[in-house]
Structure 1
Amino acid sequence: MPKKPTAPPQLPELIVSTPATLEECLTHLAGCPHIAFDTEFVGEDTYRPDLCLVQVATPERLYLIDPLTCGDLKPFWELVVDPQRVVIVHAGREEMRMCQFGIGRPPAHVFDLQIAAGLVGFTYPIGYASLVQELLGQRLHKGETLTDWRRRPLTSSQQQYAFDDVRFLIPIWKKLHEKLRRLTREDWASEEFAAFVRRSVSDDPAVEKWRKLKGIGGLDSRSLAVARELYHWRDQRAAQGNRPPRTVVRDDLLSDLARRPPGKLEELLSYRGITKTDAPHILEAIRRAKALPVGECPEPEGRENDPPHVLLLSSLLGVILSEWCARNKMASNLVATTTDLKRLVRARQPGGTPFGHSALKTGWRQRVVLPELEAFLDGKRSLIVESASSQHPLRVAPAETKPA
């Protein structure tokens, strides 16, 4: 049956566009143990996105804070990072980053609705509009998604869109918080929120962003060293000029320079898209890469070439995980990735690689989920098709004792 719509909160809607109205807003927020917020920004033309609007919800009021006119936002960010305050967001990666940019650290106590929804059985990732409809029976109209939030004055439709973006955050938080409590998963959620904040504001040292450059597949170690050096030079150049990296030097051009590195200025300037200003710095980056000892050059990434039985067991674990998650009201792709499952199976092979870095090796996943998967690999559990026509067609059972 369709969910009976929950009446939207009828709250005062306030525009904060001057230092005086910002001070009034902050006075109210200082007394709120829970606040929700969202941001609107434009990031196409700059290295770091330009913050254009901050939307804030409390149980009593809705605010649109205009950072272009209201003055210094540092006092606002200080309230956001206060560990005594719960900060509610939906898919709030950019909100975490904006806070980091604004005051040098992220919020201390975050509740992300998208993650919480995955922990109680909703699809992950689920959009804000879908979550509003699923939990509150309300429909949102997302008509201003591609608007230019830098232009002033904001239109009435822009303002309505912006208020709606935070109007339902606290009502959804109350429902998801209660679901987590009933399922005794509040600690799991806290682990997930903390990990989410860390990922949002810091680069994972295990992830080498330069390897995502198109066209560097098949390069040897020395050419990869050139690609890496050029990528880092470009990123620094873009940050200094507050420009998107692609406008400094295109990705395909970086890849071509790594594949066929020029040694002279005239050769480099024959490429379209290289400026006379940047050319000497590019040549210097290439020379640095060529001067590296062989042991400091990056290794080419090996292609996965798992034997058929490893692929079979990994696929089986995927089914087992999906069954466990369906039975326990969890989004399986939030629990573990295909790579996590393959690593688990590989670690069981003779002379196999250690399990290594995997979400399954930490926190609640290691305590609760990993033993379930290992029980199947150890032959202690079996999966039975109970009813092909049922919404829950599979059943887990103890494995039958093998004959001697």
Structure 2
Amino acid sequence: MAELQSKQSTVQHQVVDTREAYLAATAALAAGNGPVGVDAERASGFTYSQRAYLIQIYRRGAGTFLFDPPPIGDFYELNEALADEEWILHAASQDLACLREVGLDPAHIFDTELAARLLGIPRVGLGAVVEELLGIHLAKEHSAANWSTRPLPESWLVYAALDVELLPDLRDRMVDLLVESDKTEIAAQEFAATLSKEAKAARVDPWRRLSGLHSLRSQRNLAVARELWLARDEFARDVDVSPGRLVPDASLLAAARVLPATRQALSDLREFNGRASRNELDRWWAAIQRGRATTDLPALKASNDTLPPPRAWADRNPEADVRYKAARAALQALSDKVEIPLENLLTPDYLRRVAWTPPEPLDAASVGQALTNLGARHWQVDVTAQLIADAFVEVPQTADPASDLES
């Protein structure tokens, strides 16, 4: 590889934050040529919402444009202008939701992060991939910045612009490598699957995501934890601040464990801290009172179809454990041979589910159908179904495999 270059920009970047400037940028991008590099910056960890606070777009023949979504609002015209073009994104699944929120919904994508995985590149962050394939060092010092900040510092804008300006060159290099490795069709199926993937359904009990919740042993403690989590979530949404920045999970858990009997006792609880722990004390005390008084007590464990972790299978379902280990070893060997990570060769949960409850009759066709029903792509079924079926047949089978789905 050629000696590394350090990619920098001396151009002053103007943020597009008026309707007039947005329409002019749309016309310029429509007149450009080739695929379109796209990226979005959110304020994860700082704000409640996952909205885009900056959208960067680059196209050859047009240049780079940095859009400020809140003042622009809807991006209908830009989406119409670029609807038939290929959009290049890195880790598209992370940005598609916030792009669609403002009306940017590509029909065709090239995902450079996914392509890097399929090409067997060991480090798939944008900076690492650009350095590996283009020989350019791309600084990533602002990746965790609070992009809701206004005005945005010039150094941040330069960083944001470079994220998209290299995407067309990176895409072109990857296209050649995908052809050389006979993975073009695999990549196309993966990109299409990313575009068509439905958003995850909302959790029935989102409060159960509270870190450390498993340490609470009674339903009453859980009820208080639930009310505190719901109160924090509502407040965080109203003020658009990340919940953990208001009151950390550990503080909510401490209050739920202690069950303070008075407002003062809550105030005196040393573990109950955070920027909103004292100035919103009435809010938290009211939540504790609701939790202490409710008759709607939550179950100690959530009811779901989550499989036990594989480490517990030897005791819970030994036949499934043997099937799983045999099939996983076969897939790992294939992964090494084709230089595609195991998790991209086949979604790990799909293998676990067919190993836990194998289809009948047990053959490549039935395994392939089971994988397809779970969401596996055609290429994944083609290369894994026979291997899995063979591995299952080679291990002892039982007539009535266990079906315990407790988490």
TM-score normalised by length of structure 2: 0.71
Change (3 A) 1:142 1:363: closer
Displacement of 1:26 in angstroms is: 0.8
8 Å Cα contact 2:75/2:102 also seen in 1? no
User: What's the counterpart of residue 306 of structure 1?
Assistant: 313
Distance in structure 1 (CA, Å) of the matches to 2:120 and 2:389: 23
- State the alpha-carbon separation in 1 of the partners of residues 313 and 176 from structure 2: 43
Question: Is residue 226–residue 291 contact of structure 2 (8 Å, CA) maintained in 1?
Answer: no
Shift in Å, 1:238: 0.7
Partner of 2:111: 112
Structure 2 match to 1:54: 55
Q: 1:159 to 1:312 in 2, by over 3 A?
A: same
Residues 256-265 or 186-195, more deviating:
256-265
Deviations 1:209-267 (A, max 9, x none): 53332322143572445434432332122101212212443212222343344566565
SS at match of 2:60: coil
Runs of 5+ in structure 1 lacking a partner?
Answer: 350-354, 381-404
- Compute the displacement of 1:376 (Å): 1.8
2:302 aligned counterpart, secondary structure: coil
Check whether the contact 1:90–1:112 (CA below 8 A) recurs between aligned residues: yes
Aligned pair in 2 of structure 1 residues 115, 228: CA closer, same or farther (>3 Å)? farther
1:35-86 Cα distance to aligned partner (Å, 9 max, x none):
2112334444432267553321112233242528x94152368518965333
Distance 1:73 1:30 in 2: 19
- Equivalent residue, structure 2, for 1:384: none
**Relative to structure 2, which stretch is displaced further, 240-249 or 134-143?**
134-143
Give, in whole Å, the separation in 2 of the partners of 1:294 and 1:217: 13
* Structure 1 residue 297 displacement after superposition: 7.5
Q: 1:360 to 1:221 in 2, by over 3 A?
A: farther
**Corresponding residue number in structure 2 for 1:330:** 340
Task: Show the counterpart of 1:277.
Answer: 282
SS of the residue corresponding to residue 56 of structure 1 reads: strand
User: Could you tell me how far 1:127 is from its partner in structure 2?
Assistant: 0.9
| Partner secondary structure for residue 214 of structure 2 | coil
The RMSD of aligned alpha carbons is: 4.4
Q: Distance in 2 between matches of 1:144 and 1:170?
A: 22
Tell me the equivalent position of 1:250.
Answer: 248
Q: How big is each residue's C-alpha offset from its partner over 1:174-222, in whole Å with a ceiling of 9 and x where there is no partner?
A: 3334555643225422343225x64xxx444468653332322143572
Task: After TM superposition, give the deviation of residue 126 of structure 1 in Å.
Answer: 0.4
Alignment counterpart, residue 345 of structure 1, candidates 355, 359, 362: 355
Q: Specify whether residues 325 and 267 from structure 1 end up closer, same or farther in structure 2 by C-alpha distance, changes over 3 A only.
A: same
SS in 2 for 1:57: strand
Q: Residues 291, 297 of structure 1: CA spacing in aligned structure 2 closer, same or farther, 3 A cutoff?
A: farther
Identity of aligned residues (%): 19
Distance 1:77 1:216 in 2: 46
Cα distance between partner residues in 2 of 1:359 and 1:121? 27
Matches within 5 A, 1:2-401: 2=1, 15-17=14-16, 19=18, 20-31=20-31, 34-48=35-49, 51-67=52-68, 71-75=71-75, 78-79=78-79, 83-103=83-103, 106-123=105-122, 126-145=124-143, 150=149, 152=151, 154-155=153-154, 157-180=155-178, 182-183=182-183, 184-194=185-195, 198=198, 202-205=199-202, 209-220=206-217, 222=219, 223-262=221-260, 265=263, 268-271=266-269, 272=272, 273=277, 275-279=280-284, 281-283=286-288, 285-286=290-291, 290-292=294-296, 298-299=302-303, 304=309, 305-307=312-314, 311=321, 313-336=323-346, 338-348=348-358, 362-364=376-378, 365-379=380-394
Which segments of 5 or more consecutive residues in structure 2 lack a partner in the other structure? Answer: 360-366, 396-407
- Residue 337 of structure 1 and its aligned partner are, at CA, apart by 5.3
Amino acid at match of 1:136: L
Name the counterpart of 2:364: none
Q: Distance in 1 between matches of 2:256 and 2:169?
A: 52
Aligned to 1:396: none
* Deviation of the 1:306 alpha carbon: 1.6
Conservation of the 8 A alpha-carbon contact between 2:31 and 2:62: no
- CA 120–297 in structure 1, closer or farther in 2 if over 3 Å, else same: closer
SS at match of 2:138: coil
Count of paired positions? 366
Pick the structure with more helix per residue.
Answer: 2
Aligned to 1:370, the other structure's residue is in SS state: helix
Change (3 A) 1:215 1:41: closer
Equivalent residue letter for 2:30: A
* Alignment-mate amino acid for residue 63 of structure 1: T
